[in-house]
């Protein structure tokens, strides 16, 4: 394949020596659970996001599960409470909600941003609603004054699924004095899954919050529910971050801004090159910081998508779909009722993700764009 969709070895190639050195440091330290690497990573991430409390955890799904479970344990959410989420998301956002004994309530998306349509949120609020989970999908910040206003008037927590948007910023005001995705709302889940903008060499994640009680509760829940050794206040889990992954992430985190700038340059190359009557490009706003291009997602007519992908494959271009089947149509949520979700249902058959990670150069993106222009599909 001339232009693979994603080559993780290429993504980590620039860091191989530093990663090996950091792994050696952990191996020689004899400290394999918790410790200095985790403390340092948490401090470094907190400094980047301007957020006071960071808890390194096992993965992004666990980060979100722990936040929701902690609010239940704290008595802020009642079991059976409803959490509003955007219908176009990865299943993990929704699994976190149902795992905590809460009810996921899907809201449709805006066709241009492909994120939650904030004008539809208020109609989904009921007396049982306890939170809005906003998802910065594909790396685009999903946050505006309408969302904040609805949450404030109805007393709802705002939880960010920041798995795809580390490093994104918005000019809009958050609830606190940070403009960084992940530090805008009451709490956020971050994922360091290997494909994310900052990827570990395995599973890893983090909880970000401005709420000290939530931070304490999450830390206890992630460590068997114990607040001190052999004293368990919750029926908790083991969701800790491995220090070896913390050490890997400490090598890569300082390069986040540069890596995101590279992603933007590739997105811009696509944007400038692709002009095909059957292709709809993602919206690109003037505010360049509000999207970190975790995915570059175009749309083609639903009936032509298979051909489009097949023709690209023949030309050596790998593609993917994020996500072909939205969570509300997955078998595990068959019993969950929801309002009609026409935009999400329609775009699910139209979306195609193009290569955007390290390994795809700006010149490659322009070449892929020209190949797309030449296709008759």
Nearer of residues 191 and 360 to ligand PLP, judged by Cβ = 191
Report the residue number whose CB is nearest to ligand PLP: 60
In the complex, the smallest distance separating the C-beta of residue 312 from ligand PLP, rounded to whole angstroms, is: 23
Nearer of residues 193 and 377 to ligand PLP, judged by Cβ = 193
Nearer of residues 53 and 90 to ligand PLP, judged by Cβ = 90
Nearer of residues 83 and 279 to ligand PLP, judged by Cβ = 83
Nearer of residues 248 and 372 to ligand PLP, judged by Cβ = 248
Q: Is 242 in the site for ligand PLP (CB under 6 A)?
A: no
Residue that the structure tokens 């700006």 belong to: 362
Backbone angles phi, psi at 351, to 5 degrees: -75, 145
Beta-sheet strands, E only, within the chain: 53-57, 82-86, 103-107, 129-135, 157-161, 187-191, 205-209, 226-228, 231-232, 296-299, 351-354
Nearer of residues 135 and 221 to ligand PLP, judged by Cβ = 135
Q: Is 92 in the site for ligand PLP (CB under 6 A)?
A: yes
In the complex, the smallest distance separating the C-beta of residue 93 from ligand PLP, rounded to whole angstroms, is: 5
Q: Is 241 in the site for ligand PLP (CB under 6 A)?
A: no
Q: Is 245 in the site for ligand PLP (CB under 6 A)?
A: no
Nearer of residues 191 and 344 to ligand PLP, judged by Cβ = 191
Q: Is 89 in the site for ligand PLP (CB under 6 A)?
A: yes
Q: Is 197 in the site for ligand PLP (CB under 6 A)?
A: no
In the complex, the smallest distance separating the C-beta of residue 87 from ligand PLP, rounded to whole angstroms, is: 13
**Three-state secondary-structure class, residue 92:** helix
- What are the C-alpha distances in Å from 97 to residues 67, 246, 316? 10, 26, 39
Beta-sheet strands, E only, within 108-198: 129-135, 157-161, 187-191
Tell me the Cα Rg of the chain.
21
Question: Segment 327-346, which members bind ligand PLP (CB under 6 A)?
Answer: none
Which position among 61, 102, 133, 166 is part of the footprint of ligand PLP (CB under 6 A)?
A: 61
Q: Which residues of 158-168 are buried (b: 16+ CB within 10 A; e: fewer)?
A: bbbbbbbbbbb
In the complex, the smallest distance separating the C-beta of residue 290 from ligand PLP, rounded to whole angstroms, is: 17
Q: Name the H helices within 240-304.
A: 243-252, 256-273
Which is nearest to 217 in space by CA: 203, 200, 243, 237? 237
Q: Is 135 in the site for ligand PLP (CB under 6 A)?
A: yes
Q: Is 104 in the site for ligand PLP (CB under 6 A)?
A: no
In the complex, the smallest distance separating the C-beta of residue 321 from ligand PLP, rounded to whole angstroms, is: 13
Judged by CB under 6 A, how many residues of this single chain contact ligand PLP? 15
Nearer of residues 190 and 312 to ligand PLP, judged by Cβ = 190
- CA 109 to CA 114: how far, in whole Å? 6
Interacting residues of 163 by C-beta distance below 8 A, sequence separation 6+: 60, 90, 92, 135, 189, 190, 191, 193, 196, 205
Question: Segment 277-296, which members bind ligand PLP (CB under 6 A)?
Answer: none
Which is nearest to 335 in space by CA: 98, 83, 78? 98
Q: Is 100 in the site for ligand PLP (CB under 6 A)?
A: no
Footprint of ligand PLP (CB under 6 A):
59-61, 89-90, 92-93, 135, 161, 163-164, 191, 193, 203, 205
């Amino acid at each position: 394949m001339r232009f693979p969709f994603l080559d993780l070895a290429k993504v980590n190639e620039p860091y191989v020596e530093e990663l090996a050195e950091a792994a050696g440091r952990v191996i020689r330290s004899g400290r394999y659970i918790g410790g200095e690497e985790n403390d340092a990573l948490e401090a470094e991430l907190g400094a980047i996001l301007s957020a006071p409390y960071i808890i390194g955890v096992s993965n992004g799904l666990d980060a979100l599960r722990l936040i929701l479970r902690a609010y239940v344990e704290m008595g802020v959410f009642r079991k059976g409470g409803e959490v509003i989420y955007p219908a176009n998301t990865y299943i993990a956002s929704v699994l976190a909600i149902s795992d905590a004994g809460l009810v996921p309530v899907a809201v449709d998306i805006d066709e241009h941003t492909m994120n939650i349509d904030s004008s539809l949120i208020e109609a989904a609020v009921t007396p049982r609603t306890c939170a809005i989970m906003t998802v910065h999908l594909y790396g685009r910040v999903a946050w505006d004054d309408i969302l904040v206003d609805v949450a404030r008037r109805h007393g709802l927590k705002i939880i960010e699924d920041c798995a795809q948007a580390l490093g994104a910023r918005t000019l809009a005001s958050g609830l606190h004095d940070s403009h960084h995705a992940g530090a805008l709302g009451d709490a956020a889940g971050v994922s360091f899954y290997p494909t994310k903008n900052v990827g570990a060499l395995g599973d890893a994640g983090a909880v970000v919050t401005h709420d000290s009680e939530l931070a304490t509760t999450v830390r206890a829940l992630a460590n068997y529910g114990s607040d001190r050794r052999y004293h368990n206040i919750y029926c908790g889990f083991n969701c800790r971050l491995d220090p070896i992954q913390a050490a890997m992430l400490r090598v890569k985190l300082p390069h986040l801004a540069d890596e995101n700038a590279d992603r933007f340059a590739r997105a811009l190359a696509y944007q400038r090159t692709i002009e095909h009557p059957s292709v709809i490009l993602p919206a690109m706003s003037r505010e360049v910081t509000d999207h970190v291009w975790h995915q570059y997602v175009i749309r083609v007519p639903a009936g032509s998508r298979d051909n489009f992908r097949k023709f690209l494959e023949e030309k050596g271009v790998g593609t993917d779909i994020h996500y072909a089947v939205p969570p509300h149509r997955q078998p595990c949520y068959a019993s969950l009722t929801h309002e009609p979700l026409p935009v999400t249902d329609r775009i699910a058959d139209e979306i195609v993700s193009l290569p955007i990670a390290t390994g795809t150069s700006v010149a490659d993106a322009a070449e892929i764009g020209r190949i797309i222009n030449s296709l008759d599909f």
